Structure 1
């Protein structure tokens, strides 16, 4: 299979501010998932779209975490400020997100439920601080029937800035 950057898109959700890393909170100018997405852009040459909610999450990790847990319990779908205009021209979507409470943020589900992913390939990648992919692969499969779901990549958030080797190895594996 030959890779065509025009037929693939990177879509990711990331949050700056206080993040949990190595057992403590740290302040980030950009989120860990954005760091990983930027490495993907460098490696693939694909265009990237950052998902942002209409109502931004607070900078405080504790406050954000409480909201994320409540959204998950309630099955909320936070409104997004921007969507890609269409996914029709793309064959593959690199989908990036942090793991919040064992899965992807509800805002990412808002995005996934807006589009038809039949006959598309989804390449999930996430950042986490110990839970790996959590149950995100299962959750993506539930809302994207008809999509081919490739093996996901879980990058520890505290390693995201230096995750190039892991990302390159994953790309070699999933793009074969």
Structure 2
């Protein structure tokens, strides 16, 4: 697990470095949002590290109804949500959405894809309009 986490973190840092070189003005503007959903804490650690490197704002995507804390029951809920194409409700909202130019979205991999709550998040905001957005979408296979 540590080796996979290290390899993934190196890949994330590579993307952040490429972003910083391509858009140094946005890097320093502080208009970066790091939104993440984490079940087991690994994605939260990576998101926190991205914030420390970019100076972005951290936003935790929290479900209104928490997922089970035990692994097997959580996988059963995740599978049922995927099969139903569910959109689990999110407890909180991003304030001042329009201020962000760059958005990182991080999450674990559940049933070979992002958890359905990520669809809820991405469908809850307008990614069109006057602002143009740059994304780095991270699905981390680190058990949450």
Query: Which TM-score applies when normalising by structure 2?
Result: 0.76
Superposed CA RMSD in Å reads 1.6
Map of 2:92 onto structure 1: 82
Task: Name whichever structure is richer in strand by fraction.
Answer: 1
Residue 44 of structure 1 and its aligned partner are, at CA, apart by: 1.1
Mark the runs of 5 or more structure 2 residues left unpaired by the alignment: 1-22
The residue aligned with 2:113 is: 103
Kindly indicate whether residue 38 of structure 2 is the aligned counterpart of residue 14 of structure 1.
Answer: yes
Q: Which runs of 5+ in 1 are unaligned?
A: 17-30, 129-156, 161-176
Q: What is aligned with 1:125?
A: 138
Deviation at 1:122, TM superposition (A): 1.2
Cα distance change on mapping 1:5 and 1:124 into 2, 3 Å: farther
Residues of 2 paired with 1:102 and 1:58: CA distance? 19
In the comparison of the two structures, how many residue pairs are matched?
A: 117
Shift of 1:48: 0.3
